[in-house]
Structure formats: C-alpha cells, structure tokens
Chain A
Amino acid sequence: MEMTSCCSVFYFRNELAVLQALSSTVQRDPTASHYRFQDDPYLTPRTASEFKLFSLSQESGRNAAKYIINTYPNFFLKDYAEPHIPCLMPESLQPKVTEVCEAGLRELIHLRKVRSAVDMYDRLLQAGTVVSLELTNNLLDLICFYGDQDPVQGDQAEPEKTAEGEVVQDPAPRRKEGRFRKSDSLHRTWRKDNNAERIFHLMPERNERSYGALIRGMVKYGAHSKAFDLYTDMQNNRMAADVHAFNALIAAAPEVRQKYSEKWDLIAEMLKQMNKLGVRPTLLTFNTVLKSLLRCGPLSRALVLQVLGEMKALGIEPSLATYYHILVAFYRQALSPSTLSRTMLTTDLLHSMMDEISGKVFDALDPDDVYFFNYAMNICCSLKDLGLAYRVHSLLNVGDNWKLLGNPSREGFYYGSLFNLVCMMENIGVVLQWYRDLVPSLFYPNSHTMRDLLQALDADNRLDLIPEIWKDVKQLGLATVSGDLAEEVLALMARDEHSPEIQESFANCALAVKAVYGHGEQSQATLDFTASALCNMATILLAAGRTDQAWEILQLFKANNRVPSEKLLDEFLNSAKSGSNSEQAVTLVQMSSSFSLPATARLAQRVEQEFDLSEEQKKALQDVEATSDSDKD
C-alpha cells in the first residue's frame, strides 16, 4: 500500500488497500466456523456432511432468488444505484432479436444457445446471406467448446440423439477421485456427423482460427486421431496453428501412439514445429508436456527435469501444477499401493523442491494446481517425515496460497493426513495444540483420525482426556458410524487403574457411551451391544464404585444375548464381598450357571468360602453346583 500526499489529498494505490491492511492484522480464529455461515450455535455445522448441506442449501436459496429475478424482471428494473451496477440487474436469458439476421446469430452465440445458433446459421445460409468469417469462427468456437450440445443447467440432463435419431439417455456422470476428475460435460464424445465439422466443410474460406477451434474441440471431446488428421490438413494448406491448438495436440499425443518412445517422439515433434513456426510456448504448454510425459512410462523420470530446465531458460515461472507433475513422475511408483517396493525411495526430490519454492506466493494459473498440496502431504506421510510436512504446511500459509487447496473435501484430505502424521510423530502436547487449532474450524475428522488421536493419548499416558474426546466424537456424529470408536474408548478406559477423580469422569463417560448403544430415536442409527463393550462398561462402573448401575449392566447381558467374561464375574464378586452382600453373590453364581460358564463351580466354591450364607442360600448354591456337575458329565 502506498500513500502519496499531494495538496492534502491522499490516494492509495489500490481501492482495497485499506481493507487489505486491516485484514492483515487479524489472524484466523480457530473457534469460528467458515465465514459463509452465520455466527450462531444452532447454525454452525458440526460435521462434514452438515457443512456441505448448509452451504448447498444457501447456494440453492440464491439460485431460487435468481430464478425469480430472471422470471419477473419488471420488478427489479428500478435503478437506485449510482453508478449503475450491471451485475445487480436481472439477466435476460431469452433472445430479443427474432428475425433471421447476423445480429440475431451474434446474440444467440452470446447467450450460449448452441442448437438455436446452429439453426439460425443454417437459415441464414438458405436465405443466401453471406455470414462473415469472424462470425462463423465465433460460432465454431461455441460449438466446439460445448461439444455440439447446449450447456447443461444444473440437473436438467437432456437426452442425447445418436446418428440414427434415437434418443439415448445421457450416461450417469461418473465421479472419479484423484487426478482424473471430469465434469459431466466431458463425458460427451465427438460424434461423427457433427455440426462443427459440417459447418467447417461448408465454409467457403477457412483460416487458422477455424482450424484451431476444430482441433481443440476434437481433443476436448476425445476424437484425438481426427485432430491430428486436421493438423496435417492444416500443414498442407500452409497455415500456422496458434499456441492453444498446439497445446491441445500435445495433450492428445499420448492417445494416438502406442509405445512410450513413440509418444515422446510425437510430443518432441510438436515442440520442434512450434519452434519452427515461431510460436512461443506458455506455461500451459509446458504443463501439458509434463502431463503427457507422465503417460510415457519410464521416460518420464529422465525427461521431466529437462523440461523444467527448458521452462526456466525461457523465463516462464513454473506454477504449482508443474511441481505437481514432477512429483508424480518421481513418487508415483513409491506411493501406489500395488508395488511392494515402498522403501525403495531413492530420491529426495521433495526436499530440494521445498528448498526452491518455500516462501513463494503462487497464483491459480492451471486447473491442476489444486492437486499439489494433497500429493505433497501424501508423500510426507509415506516418508514419515514431519519436518518436510511442516515445510509444506508453511508454504500453505504464505500469502494467498491457501486458496490453492481446492474444494472442502480436498482440504479435508489434506488436513486429515497432516493430523495423522502429527499424531504419529509428535508428543501429546503438540498433538492437542494442533487438534484445537484445526478441529472443527478447518476440517472435520473421520473415525480413522479419532482412532489415531486415541492411540496418541494412550502412548503418552494422557487417558484422562478421553471423556472430552468422546464429547467431540459425539458432536462430530462419528459415534454411531461404526462401533469401533465406542469400543476402543471403553477398552482404553477399562484397562488400567486410575485415581478416583479420573474414575468418576470415566464412569460418567461410560454412561454417555451406553446411551449411544441400544434403542435411540427412530431417525438415529443405533449400535448393538457387544460382549466386550458391556464387560468394559461394567468394569469401569465398578471401579468408580457405582455398583447399582453396574448391576443394571449385568441384566443387559441376558437381554441382549451376550455372555459376560469370567474376569468380570470375579470383579463383581469382589465388589459384593466389599459390600458384604451375600444375596448378590448367590445371584451372581446363579447367573453364571444360566450362561453355562465353566467357571460356575469355582465361583460357587469361592462364595461358600468367603461369605456367610444363610440356609436357603447354601441350598441354592448346592443346586447350582449339582446342575453344573451334571452339565460337565
């Protein structure tokens, strides 16, 4: 921000300079939710699915308002704003010009109505008017960009028409995770009787732009070999393709050749021709070269660094996508789950890369930029290198680089792997610090992450924090997803002896966990009691001295068809002894015989020895012993 004073008038270099200076004084608030939500406990999302639900419903509200505004524009035409704000006026989505003329075609192209534009063009030709070259080129651009179909609005998928005129349903959009995530539109393929090709052949004269548009459309929609045929056509007519067409051809090169060396030869050929024609390569050219190199097998490792060198020699700043492709080339083998040679990592490329790019501010220049941080963090996790992970994370905090993390689910993966690594390697103090910082303002952990956190607590002997963690687990909605977390929590609490206050808090926590099992409300998913869970619950309650509640749990065993362990019954006997309650002891023995446990005889003997029993109780015990003896026979 620069202020210059000129006759007592201050002006700033940038209108936003004051706001930016103010915002640089404030840091992220780890207790607040994302800024798009309202600041209210009822309206703050607590799980990842709530986050998505709330943001989507807010967005759909906006779309509903836009629909109403565009359907009834006459209410929104009064202009209060000075100067006029065009983005707050209703849009007219219907074309105004109705006659068949060039202005009508121009308008339809502007409104992105592909089919009507093609229709209008045909009618113009039939009427005999000569459509200018530039307008035809615009039309070709439109058709090739949208693949000869109208752009799909939301979930109105129109049925495709095949060459025979039958109506074929649009294939359900596949969602592939990872690098090859395509949107719905790219599942269209380039048809044989395309409008674009037809118009192209009808054109009296074509220039580089027409060829370029067609080549790019073909590559975008999968007709790679046709694109190359068109390119040779272009060369025969002695026309020079522009840089965008060359980028498309380089992207298509791996598809039209089979062997790795041939693929690379074709790419190199394209580059040489670019050089010959004097077309200057851009960042996107080099990124496309790298991307296609990755399809060339073992050649990629050797050549990516050379390509990077070429880029720097030409003075083009690499973007994050460049570094991403280089990382993939080197670490792809080591990270894939199928290879066994995970320890065969003979490179410290990521270290040298971080040396080079630490502290730099990156812009979003390539759609593949968003994959970098996730992949780098993945590599750090498999290398178990915490220092490197911290370096990657500090790069994220430089300037506006956080915007290059991608959509919220991608962010979730990144922070999830970072937190897993921290849990594994750092001591509990640092782990808890990170936990408070990241959750839940930046990411919502899944049950795997919470398990890691519990293990870290265990390793550092801080089990007294378990009740708090359980509260968080419930709030995140992870308690009922699978029974593992609840069982793990109970097992950890029941394992060792602790001081009385901790036992108290454990007992309260155990009761809270118990509420998760059993029959909840109709809409909630519930878990079934398992034997180990019940055993652990009873143990914890006994250790805290809550015998009544522990006895209730015993009843639950029978109700849910679960068998208690012998160790548990011993503990109950101990507690009955300390309470001098012989009635309970006898009931215990009867219960164990009803489960047909082999330890019944031993328990009965113990009760006879250690307790003062009345006559009926002794008789009941003998009955039990008799039945258990007969069982053994």
Chain B
Amino acid sequence: MAVSFGGAGLILANHAVAHMSRTLCAVPRARAIHSTAVCCKHQAARIRVGKGDKPVTYEEAHPPHHIAHRKGWLSQHTSNLDRETGAAERTVEDIFIRRFIFGTFHGLLANELVIKRRGNMLVVCALFTQKIPAYKLYFLIGYTETLLSYFYKCPVKMEVQTVKDKVVYKYL
C-alpha cells in the first residue's frame, strides 16, 4: 500500500491554500520514498546461468515448476493422498536415506535418488558412475540393503543402474 510522506506535508487551513500556492514554488520540494513488502526472487532448486563452463544434469537444470511437465517425482509414496497420514515421517525417512546413500556410495552418485514405496517395501533406485570395480559396488549394495532394512524394519531393495560418467544435459 502506497504511503507518501511529504516533507512539506503540512495541513493548512483552507483559507491559506491560495496563499500557499503562490509561495509553494519557493519551498524546496522533497522526494517521496515508495516501498512495498519484500518480494524475493525464487531460488529453490535453480541453477543460475553463469559463464557456461558448469556441467548440469537434466534433473538439476529444470526448476521445480517443471515437475509433472518435464520432470518426474523423486519420492513416490501414497501419504499425500486424501485421508492418508504419515507424509512428514516419509519425508524425514527420505532425507535420511538420501544422506545415508550419499555418504556410503561416496562420489558415485550420478543423479538424485528415486525412492519408491510399494506395499511395505522400500525401493531405492540409484544411478551410479562406474568409478569402482563391480564387486566393491556389490559389497556396498548388500551392506546398505541390510542396514536400512534393520533400521526401518521393512524390506529395502536397491535397483542400481550404472553409467560411465555423469550425463550432462547442458552447460550453464
């Protein structure tokens, strides 16, 4: 809402207006400051355009308003349906699982995890780079599946795909 502060905003009596209008030209006029409520730029999950040397994957390149148009969902569960509960718990579990796998498979993740819940099973779909030999990857997969199963008391399966390098969509 615009509010104007006048430096010379004096309320004068009507009979003095005419007198004022002649003398207003002589009084120095001050500039009014307009201000609005704070309205920040959207910066969620966006990578700003830079010099053009930063490789960016498809997932990272698209901001969130493209979900359901050009992107899918990274976490799939039914708690957000009508009359279903537990959305917050699922989200917290997801965050833990993402951090856990980021740390366990250090430097190997080529893209964000996709976490699906089917029945009581947790399916973690991951895309890894081929930096370590396959048997080491199997060790980590067996370890993760067992540890997360015991942690969340439900069967946890990993579905793993590997790529040579991170797949670059464009350079920003």
> Which A residues have a C-beta under 8 Å from some C-beta of B?
37-40, 42-43, 50, 53-55, 57-62, 64-66, 68-69, 75-76, 79-81, 85, 88-90
Contact = CB atoms under 8 A, between A and B. Distances in A.
Contact of A64 (B138, B143, B151, B159): B143
Contacts of B146: 61-62, 65-66, 69
A43 B142 contact: no
- Tell which of A37, A53, A76, A88 has the most Cβ of chain B within 10 Å: A88
Interface string B145-164: 11101111110001111100
A36 to B, nearest CB: 9
A57 B151 contact: no
Interface in B60-116: none
A69 B160 contact: no
A58 B139 contact: yes
A487 to B, nearest CB: 31
Given A42-B130, A42-B162, A43-B160, A61 B154 contact: no
A83 to B, nearest CB: 11
B140 interface: yes
A85 B154 CA distance: 9
A80 B138 contact: no
Given A40-B161, A57-B142, A81-B153, A69 B134 contact: no
Interface size of B as a range: 20 to 34
A66 B140 CA distance: 13
Tell me the dominant secondary structure on chain A's binding face.
helix
A273 to B, nearest CB: 50
Contacts of B153: 79-81, 85, 88
A54 B135 CA distance: 5
B141 interface: yes
A183 to B, nearest CB: 23
B56 interface: no
B137 interface: yes
Contacts of A57: 135-136, 138-139, 142
24 contacts: A38-B158, A40-B161, A42-B134, A43-B138, A53-B135, A54-B135, A54-B138, A55-B138, A57-B135, A57-B139, A57-B142, A59-B142, A60-B139, A60-B142, A61-B140, A62-B143, A62-B145, A65-B150, A75-B151, A76-B150, A76-B151, A79-B153, A80-B153, A81-B153
Contact of A38 (B136, B141, B150): B141
Nearest to B151: A76
B104 to A, nearest CB: 10
A65 B160 contact: no
Contacts of B136: 57
Contacts of A80: 152-154
B134 A61 contact: no
Contacts of A61: 138-144, 146
Contacts of B144: 61, 65
A65 B142 contact: yes
